[in-house]
């Protein structure tokens, strides 16, 4: 029995459907992919991040945009909704509501999307010329991975761990205390597979 062929959707048709829909979808290579709902912890971390970034950038040229801003990766054709975006220039907009020039992108990791956010999605994001930092935020423990574009086009990763740590952005003058970022978040009980073993038990 032959496999059923999927109908190809143009970017214009995706945008038309997306603007009428009650939920968000990504688009890539002729297909739409519904984005799953977020957990309470995910929503809380992202809401805290919006507040933290708003305070950090108050009075400056940069500003945050929450996860309602659709982004197009021009080089690959991916349309998606990052959890948070930082802009420091005038918006470059296509089709009326599609952002092309994020400077910093944050993604709050979820069990169902972590592999994608670390792998294929980051591959897409790395092709955005304006993007200078990519930041992955855990929702199960106070932990952040900060990727910064280097002059040779490589990306340098720095791990920020612990509730008393501070995330200092590398490409703009701003910082976020993890204590504020995780305010009100209840962390699950971690197993021995989540944390490194104590070398001196």
**CATH number of the domain within which 166 lies:** 3.90.1570.10
In the three-class reduction of DSSP (H, G, I as helix; E, B as strand; rest coil), residue 177 is classed as strand
Domain total in the chain: 1
Please indicate, yes or no, if residue 87 is contained in any of the structural domains: yes
Interatomic CA distance for residues 62 and 47, integer angstroms = 18
Structural domain including 53 reads 39-181
pLDDT digits (tens), the chain, 201 positions: 334 446 899 999 999 999 999 999 999 999 999 987 778 889 999 999 999 999 999 988 999 998 899 999 999 999 999 999 999 999 999 999 999 999 999 999 998 899 999 999 999 999 999 999 999 999 999 999 999 999 999 999 999 999 999 999 999 999 999 999 999 998 887 554 444 433 333
Tell me whether residue 150 is in a domain.
yes
Residue with tokens 């504020």: 180
pTM of the model: 0.89
Write out the E strands in 5-45.
25-28, 31-34
In a domain, 190, yes or no: no
Under the phi-then-psi rule, with left for phi > 0, alpha for psi from -120 to 50, and beta for the rest, what region is 45?
Answer: alpha
The answer to the question of residue 199 being in a domain is no
For 15, phi then psi, to 5°, come to -65, -40
| 100 within some domain | yes
44: tokens are: 């809380």
Give me 148's structure tokens: 């910064």
Q: Do 56 and 49 contact (CB within 8 A), yes or no?
A: no
Asked if residue 15 belongs to a domain, the reply is no
Structural domain includes residue 144: yes
Asked if the structure places residue 140 within a domain, the reply is: yes
CA distances from 192 to 76, 110, 195, 200 (A): 39, 19, 6, 15
Local structure of residue 135 (DSSP, 8 states) = E
């Amino acid at each position: 029995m032959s496999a059923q062929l999927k109908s190809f959707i143009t970017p214009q048709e995706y945008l038309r459907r997306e603007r009428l829909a009650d939920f968000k979808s990504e688009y890539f290579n002729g297909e739409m992919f519904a984005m799953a709902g977020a957990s309470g912890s995910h929503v809380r971390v992202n809401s805290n991040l919006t507040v933290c970034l708003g305070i950090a950038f108050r009075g400056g040229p940069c500003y945050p945009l929450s996860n309602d801003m659709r982004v197009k990766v021009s080089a690959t054709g991916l349309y998606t909704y990052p959890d948070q975006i930082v802009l420091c220039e005038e918006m470059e907009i296509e089709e009326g509501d599609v952002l092309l020039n994020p400077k910093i992108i944050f993604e709050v990791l979820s069990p169902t999307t972590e592999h994608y956010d670390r792998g294929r999605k980051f591959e897409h994001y790395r092709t955005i010329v304006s993007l200078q930092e990519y930041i992955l935020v855990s929702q199960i423990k106070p932990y952040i991975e900060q990727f910064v574009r280097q002059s040779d086009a490589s990306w340098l990763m720095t791990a920020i761990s612990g509730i008393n740590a501070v995330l200092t952005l590398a490409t703009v003058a701003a910082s976020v205390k993890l204590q504020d970022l995780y305010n009100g978040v209840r962390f699950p009980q971690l197993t021995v597979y989540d944390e490194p073993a104590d070398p001196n038990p």
